[in-house]
Amino acid sequence: MTEQSWVLRRRVPDAFLRAQSQLDPIVARILYARHLDTSEKVDAFMATDGTLGDPMSLPDMGAAIERIARALANQEQVAVYGDFDVDGVTSTVLMTTMLRALGARVQAFIPDRFEDGYGLNVDAIERLRSGGVTLCVTVDCGVRSVTEVAHARTLGMDMLITDHHSVPDTLPEAVAVIDPRREDDRYPFDELAGVGVAYQVAAALVAALGAGTSAELSALLEAQLDLVGLGTIADVVPLVGENRLLARWGLNRMRSAPRSGIAELARVSGIELATVDSGDVAFRMAPRLNAAGRIDNARIAYQLLSATSSQQAAPAAQTLHEHNRERQTLLEEQLLEASAGLEADSPPPIIFVQGENYHEGIVGLVASRLREQFYRPALVLKREEHTARGSARSIEGFHITRALESCADLLLRYGGHEQAAGFTLETDKIEAFQQGMLEYAVEHLSPDLLVARQLVDAIVTLEDVTERTPGAIAALGPFGKGNPEPLLASLGVTVLDARRMGSEGKHLRLNVAFNQVPRSCVAFRQGEAADWLVPGQSVDLLFRPSIDRWQGRESLQLVVEAVRPHR
């Protein structure tokens, strides 16, 4: 079991609870724990309305509008170049839809993970140019593609970059580079997902170029909000500020007027769209959409989300569902292989796994699970004869993209965020790269960073948590990075019974009580705890309250994140 430190975010004073007596008591404690500690802050956080920043304050927006206007006037062939993850696919569907509505001759291009790799690719650019494309608009990629953009210029193809990833010292020489992370950016929020940037670019285009049909175009733009919410939640950007607003708008759109593809995706995922929440998107929809690019080609995800009828969408949704099952099986097999050579009691400060047998579409998931299992930054590489492609996942406090920057001279390409990144290098440089990353980790990973911290929002008794609690907490959503689903602790509860459940006993079914108040619990991927939990034992729980729906009946259930003997 990975060492954990349970840390109470903040203890609430009675005066705050009295001042916020209109709120559910647990909700009030959660808000205070997260420093929403005045009536003004609480009201602002709980508000359901809001506005986005002016898209014209994004850098190079004027140049982008001017170049697209010229492409429309001259009926140039335009390509939207996306990415194979959910953020990239939703961005591609959105941008292609809106450009087509403005009158553009436009085609979508989503790279193949296995043939093209991550981001802009010289061969793909040449294929687009040979097909007549003279303007290429990127979404969710391109801000680091200096060489590729320069090559496009030599071919006579203009590049317009829209991205949200970290910005290098030298920008590509594109017609426009729109990225809210640029130092010269005046936009009020710099954490937008790629689809959020694409939405704001589309909004600026509608305002500038939609004369005569602005009402229809505005309605069409609003109809893209389900895509914006889907991509924003799936990309694990902080769900604060404008991202929280976009995620909420997107979920509302899914509940009220979902496109055919999202309706069919929800059906195969077992999701009731009338009550869809951010957890459904992150853990049930997004994995199926991502499975397309991991197992086969993300084009099937594009086809699903751009479908105009359930008849078109249903086969694609079923294919994604089957790909996801294949992905799950493959992940478990490769995770066993990856963790076999690692010492659980003394893992290195950074985990580095490589091999020829790893599936290129799964390496990021394997890295994520290794990070979770050992609480270390993890890199997993698929090694081939000449090159190796890998994914990295990191822990809180260790910026993995900056770590890759320290070895930039050894990499052919790389890019990502603070906690997730992808990279490519020549196979004969793997050893030097591994050594460089290890040296960087030794220097920047202090021992305290290697202890997983579970931030607890409130310590409660089992009696405090009722059937009303999950609904009250849900009002604080949408949940995700930056606004995680609240985590509660209950100390010194008594075990009534514990048993393994699910395939191969991976999960735990637990019944507990405190002061004769019983509660039913489930703990995913913690089946081994049944080996040491015994009736009558006193334990501490970290959990999230939920409503379990089964055969038309609803009951309170605690989803346990961690259990330990009570001290």
List, for residues 85-138, the tens digit of each pLDDT value: 999 999 999 999 999 999 999 999 998 877 777 789 999 999 999 999 999 999
Strand order in the sheet with 387-393: 351-355, 378-383, 387-393, 420-426, 411-416
Low-confidence ranges of the chain (pLDDT < 50): 1
Q: How far is CA 196 from CA 180, 181, 221, in A?
A: 10, 13, 12
Q: Which of 160, 77, 90 is nearest to 120 (CA)?
A: 160
What are the helix (H) ranges across 224-353? 225-234, 241-256, 260-269, 278-280, 286-295, 299-306, 310-340
Interatomic CA distance for residues 408 and 367, integer angstroms: 20
Interatomic CA distance for residues 87 and 165, integer angstroms: 12
Q: Which residues contact 306 (CB under 8 A, 6 or more apart)?
A: 93, 96, 97, 108, 261
For residue 287, the tally of other CB atoms under 10 A from its CB is 19
Please enumerate, as own/partner, the contacts of 6-9 that have beta carbons within 8 Å and a separation of 24 or more. Answer: 6/454, 6/456, 6/489, 6/540, 6/542, 6/562, 7/453, 7/454, 7/455, 7/456, 8/33, 8/456, 8/458, 8/459, 8/489, 9/33, 9/34, 9/455, 9/456, 9/457
Strands of 378-487 (E only): list them: 378-383, 387-393, 411-416, 420-426, 452-456, 458-459
Q: Which of 284, 237, 242, 288 is nearest to 420 (CA)?
A: 237
Interatomic CA distance for residues 337 and 340, integer angstroms: 5
* Structural domains for the chain: 4-12+454-565 (2.40.50.460), 55-224 (3.90.1640.30), 341-450 (3.10.310.30)
Interatomic CA distance for residues 61 and 178, integer angstroms: 7
List, for residues 184-235, the tens digit of each pLDDT value: 999 999 999 999 999 999 999 999 998 767 789 999 999 999 999 999 999 9
Interatomic CA distance for residues 351 and 374, integer angstroms: 9
Q: State residue 191's pLDDT score.
A: 95
Interatomic CA distance for residues 433 and 26, integer angstroms: 48
Q: Which of 392, 516, 489, 502 is nearest to 29 (CA)?
A: 489
**Chain-centre distance of CA 443, in angstroms?**
28
Interatomic CA distance for residues 232 and 252, integer angstroms: 14
Q: Which of 323, 303, 322 is nearest to 313 (CA)?
A: 303
Q: State residue 166's pLDDT score.
A: 86
Q: State residue 103's pLDDT score.
A: 95
Beta bridge partners of 80: 108, 137
Q: State residue 1's pLDDT score.
A: 47
Quote the DSSP letter at residue 181.
Answer: T
Q: State residue 2's pLDDT score.
A: 58
Q: What is the dihedral of CA 38, 44, 48, 53, to 10 degrees?
A: -160
Strands of 55-153 (E only): list them: 77-81, 105-109, 133-139
Dump the DSSP string for 509-522: EEEEEETTEEEEEE
